[in-house]
Structure formats: structure tokens, C-alpha cells
């Protein structure tokens, strides 16, 4: 089959993250192997304590696994120094978080341009791209607004623009709809999914809200640190999405 020939943007191999405490040793992530191709949008779901946030942190190069490999464009994040991981986060990874996403003293366009500035890519074309991306996200009139002058949904859309502007290989979203009402949540995730597909990024979204799975290509279910099920068929994903919150 063609699967063996696929080059994945992201691939993890037997990732384990172990925490040791007085009560014993816990595998927060337990032998997780997954692959995400460029242009694929994946949801990582599971109950609280299932290890999905720890897994996201490892994929984001914010946390070192105890063992295993995380290959991003072929480079193993697990074998990198702290400084190299900072470089990877800046150059190859895009982020949106639950809240406090934006730098409060920078306007919407400045927040987006910050990623280009950090990557030394802030030229005329970059500035134009930042404005166009924000306009596409419906924020053409809000370019010079500070985060405090925007709604939660608008802030999330600015964060999405910031996560995509520097052409990262991997885009990660941690509960991007947690602080939004249902209508805004659908809009944000739909837009996010559309851009990931269009720009051929590998996207992973951690969410409690299974309704948002409607817009993803695959759903990875974690429980007790393990990847226990993968939903890849459209029907089963839609059925899961209709099930509501996890």
C-alpha cells in the first residue's frame, strides 16, 4: 500500500513520559506512536488525566519524553538540547493555547508579525501576508486593536494567524475553543481546519469538546497515557462528534 511510502510531517515512535512521585511511578504517556501527514488535521481526545496534554507538550518541544522519538520533518526533538528546541518551536511549530494567547501590549497585526520578527522574516511581503491572513480570518477591521479590545473568538483567530504565519510544519492547538461559545467555537475550528488543509500543515488539536471533531481528518483517543483508538472513517468521526463533550 501507499502508506509505507508516506513521508509524515510528524511521527512519534514509542514515546513514554514517566513521572516519579512518592506514590510511585506513573507513565503519563505510555508508548505512544502516531503519525500526522502534511495537510492532515488530527484531534487528540480523551478524558482528564489521559495524557493528551502531556503528549501535546512533548510534541510542542516544551517537554522532553523519558524515551522514544518525535520526528518533526525528520529531526528528532527528543535528542535536541534546550536551545535547539527553542529554535524548533520558533521555526517549525505554530501554537494556539486555551487562553492568554496573545501578547497584551501588541496589536493584532503586531502579534502575528511577532512570529516573523522572531524568525527574522519580517519584510514587506511578510507584513502584507500578516494583514491578508487576518483579513481572511475576518479581522481586517481589527488589525490595530489590542487583545483587550477584542472578544475571545477574535483573539483566538489572531492566535491562529500567528500560529500559521511563519509557515510551520506542525500546528498545535490546546483546547482552542475552551473559552468560546458554541457558535464561535465552530467558526474558529472550521477556519483553523480550512487553513491547515489549504496550507498543507500538520495540525493537532487537543480538545474535550468532541463536537469539534467534525472538522478533523482523524481522531486519536487516549486513555491512561495510551493511544487506545483511532477514528479515521468519516462516519465514525461524525458519530463521535454528535456524541458531544468527552
The reply to whether 174 sits near other proteins by the rule CB under 8 A is yes
Shortest distance in whole angstroms from residue 92 CB to other proteins:
9
Q: Are 158 and 147 in contact (CB under 8 A)?
A: yes
Strand-strand pairing, 24-36 and 41-45: unpaired
State the number of binding residues for other proteins (CB under 8 A). 37
Q: In the stretch 152-171, what mask flags binding to other proteins with x, by CB under 8 A? A: ----------x---------
* Cβ-based nearer residue to other proteins, 60 or 240: 60
The reply to whether 177 sits near other proteins by the rule CB under 8 A is no
Binder of other proteins out of 16, 80, 135, 146 (CB under 8 A)? 146
Closest C-alpha to 58, from 93, 96, 25, 100: 93
Closest C-alpha to 12, from 231, 176, 204: 204
The reply to whether 91 sits near other proteins by the rule CB under 8 A is yes
In the window 8-47, what residues touch other proteins (CB under 8 A)? 19, 28
Binder of other proteins out of 37, 39, 73, 90 (CB under 8 A)? 90
Contacts of 116 (CB under 8 A, 6+ apart): 122, 126, 127, 130, 165, 166
Q: Are 216 and 21 in contact (CB under 8 A)?
A: no
The reply to whether 2 sits near other proteins by the rule CB under 8 A is no
Closest C-alpha to 202, from 182, 183, 216, 212: 216
The reply to whether 70 sits near other proteins by the rule CB under 8 A is no
Q: Are 170 and 39 in contact (CB under 8 A)?
A: no
Instruction: State the residue for C-alpha cell 520533518.
Output: 73
Shortest distance in whole angstroms from residue 244 CB to other proteins:
24
Q: Which window, 7-15, 89-97, 137-145, 212-220, contacts other proteins (CB under 8 A)?
A: 89-97
Binder of other proteins out of 45, 93, 133, 240 (CB under 8 A)? 93
CB-CB neighbours of 17 under 10 Å: 22
The reply to whether 57 sits near other proteins by the rule CB under 8 A is yes
Q: Which window, 72-80, 104-112, 131-139, 216-224, contacts other proteins (CB under 8 A)?
A: 104-112
The reply to whether 56 sits near other proteins by the rule CB under 8 A is yes
The reply to whether 117 sits near other proteins by the rule CB under 8 A is yes
Cell of 145: 486593536
In the chain, the DSSP E strands lie at: 10-21, 24-36, 41-45, 67-72, 75-76, 93-96, 170-174, 202-206, 218-223, 226-231
Binding site for other proteins (CB under 8 A): 19, 28, 53-54, 56-57, 60, 62-63, 83, 86-91, 93, 95, 97-98, 100-106, 110, 114-115, 117-120, 146, 162, 174
Amino acid at each position: 500500500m501507499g502508506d509505507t511510502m508516506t513521508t509524515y510531517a510528524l511521527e512519534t515512535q514509542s514515546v513514554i513520559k514517566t513521572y516519579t512521585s512518592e506514590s510511585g511511578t506513573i507513565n503519563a504517556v505510555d508508548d505512544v506512536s502516531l503519525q500526522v501527514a502534511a495537510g492532515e488535521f488530527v484531534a487528540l481526545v480523551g478524558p482528564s488525566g489521559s495524557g493528551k496534554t502531556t503528549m501535546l507538550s512533548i510534541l510542542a518541544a516544551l517537554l522532553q519524553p523519558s524515551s522514544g522519538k518525535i520526528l518533526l520533518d525528520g529531526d528528532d526533538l527528543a535528542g535536541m538540547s534546550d536551545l535547539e528546541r527553542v529554535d524548533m518551536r520558533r521555526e517549525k511549530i505554530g501554537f494556539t493555547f486555551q487562553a492568554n494567547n496573545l501578547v497584551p501590549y501588541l496589536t493584532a497585526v503586531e502579534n502575528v508579525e511577532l512570529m516573523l520578527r522572531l524568525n527574522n522574516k519580517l519584510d514587506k511581503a511578510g507584513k502584507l501576508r500578516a494583514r491578508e491572513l487576518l483579513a481572511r480570518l475576518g479581522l481586517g477591521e481589527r488589525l490595530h486593536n489590542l487583545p483587550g479590545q477584542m472578544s475571545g473568538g477574535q483573539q483566538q483567530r489572531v492566535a491562529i494567524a500567528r500560529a500559521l504565519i511563519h509557515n510551520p510544519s506542525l500546528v498545535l492547538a490546546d483546547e482552542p475553543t475552551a473559552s468560546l461559545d458554541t457558535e464561535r467555537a465552530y467558526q474558529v475550528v472550521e477556519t483553523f481546519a480550512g487553513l491547515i488543509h489549504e496550507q498543507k500543515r500538520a495540525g493537532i488539536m487537543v480538545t474535550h469538546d468532541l463536537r469539534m471533531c467534525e472538522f478533523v481528518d482523524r481522531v486519536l483517543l487516549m486513555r491512561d497515557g495510551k493511544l487506545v483508538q483511532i477514528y479515521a472513517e468519516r462516519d465514525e468521526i461524525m458519530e463521535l462528534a454528535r456524541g458531544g463533550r468527552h
